[in-house]
Amino acid sequence: MVSKQDINHYIFLAFITILLYKFINNPMQVISGIGGIASFFSPFLIGILIALLINPLVMFFEKRFNLHRLLNILISYILVFILIFLGFKLLIPSIVDTLNTLIKEIPTYVDMFNEILGKYMTKAEFFNTIAPHIQDNLNSILTNVVNILTAFSSNLLIHISSITSLLFDIIMGLILSIYMIFDKEKIGLGCKKILYASVNKIKADETVSFFKMSHKIFYNYMIGKIIDSLIVGLIAFVVFQFVIKIENSLFLSFIVFVTNIIPYFGPFIGAVPPILMTLVYSPVKALWVAIFILILQQVDGNFIGPKVMGDQVGLSPLWIISAVLIGSSLFGLIGVFLSVPVAAIIKSSIDKYVEKRLYINDSK
């Protein structure tokens, strides 16, 4: 006689088989469907993320001052908003200066490049031969840029709608996070009651253990990654400002800090703006910036990261790259930041399941 557990396994296996079949035949349709479901839950995911990050601060105030929880929550959120406001107040002038520098220096730099190219073209037959091809390619690039700008302007309402939707998700996430922190014991107890009422005790205990493990992996990874990126950003600021002495060092080091949070691809993305913006007015300093960022990446990967974070995720590069690509396609920017801890949770769950099945098979 087939047990209820075996029937559930067969149903789950059939569901996975159908999903894989649909994905192989039409992957974009499956991704679009999952993305639609994910977008519906975005405010809840943002709320959970904010609650996880703010909750330690609330707990600190509760232990330190023994105030009412709602007051501790308000103090924590106000403090975080003040820090964000001060950060933007420092960064916005730097961003404006950066844009002014680009607008002012790019024409000069283009003229300089054309002058150097003109000198070589008059001296070398080779350059005279390839000059028409260069001109054609430049014209093609300019045409493509114009087309991109035209498409962007024609889809401006769509972009505004996307930004509005993101702002709505963030605001709803903030509101939900306050309720989550305020009623966290009630929410946890309610979820446990539903869980233990729905499944047997063994399954319920396994589920509770899974969520505890998920919280530990996620929280340790996110806090560790933020601290690691802060250290990298501060080192970048000190070197940019006082050693290489480049312009807009605060803004450029902030870019290094933010992009360093992105797993694997982040450091490479963060290296591009400082190098390009410095190249506009000083190719020599741009070279020093490139060398410094390369050294900083090695120091972070081999010393700072392992010391601050340890082996929080235990994922191979293939897992990390796959997680980032899938996370970005489903959840956008939020998916990029959360992809690695989610992948670590999935891998840890798979490892535990495999070990459990092997143990059961060996005991038979």
- Report residue 63 as tokens: 């232990």
156 has pLDDT over 70: no
Q: What are phi and psi of 246, to 5 degrees?
A: -100, 165
Q: Name the packing angle between helices 125-154 and 156-182 (round to 10°).
A: 60
Smallest Cα–Cα separation from 255: which of 95, 81, 82, 50? Answer: 95
364 has pLDDT over 70: no
Q: Name the packing angle between helices 201-238 and 184-198 (round to 10°).
A: 140
On average, the pLDDT of the chain sits at: 78
CA torsion sign, 221 to 303 to 83 to 160? negative
For the segment 37-51, the average pLDDT, to the nearest whole number, is 79
CB 292 within 8 A of CB 278: no
What pLDDT shows up at residue 155?
60
**Measured between alpha carbons, how far is 303 from 79 in angstroms, rounded to an integer?**
32
The pLDDT tens digits of the residues spanning 69-113 come to: 889 999 999 998 998 888 888 877 877 777 776 667 666 666 666
The 8-class DSSP code of residue 262 comes to S
What's 193-249 look like in SS3?
A: HHHHHHCCHHHHHHHHHHHHHHHHHHHHHHHHHHHHHHHHHHHHHHHHHHHCCCCCH
The 8-class DSSP code of residue 67 comes to -
Burial class (CB in 10 A: 0-12, 13-18, 19+), 177: buried
More confident of the two residues 147 and 269: 269
**Measured between alpha carbons, how far is 78 from 91 in angstroms, rounded to an integer?**
20
The pLDDT tens digits of the residues spanning 320-353 come to: 778 888 877 777 777 777 788 888 888 888 888 7
CB 270 within 8 A of CB 258: yes
204 has pLDDT over 80: yes
Query: Long-range contact list for 289-296, CB < 8 A, 24+ apart?
Result: 289/240, 289/244, 289/246, 292/236, 292/239, 292/243, 292/244, 293/236, 293/256, 293/267, 296/232, 296/235, 296/236, 296/239, 296/256
CA gyration radius for the chain?
26
The pLDDT tens digits of the residues spanning 206-250 come to: 888 888 888 888 888 888 888 889 999 999 999 999 999 888 888
What pLDDT shows up at residue 16?
67
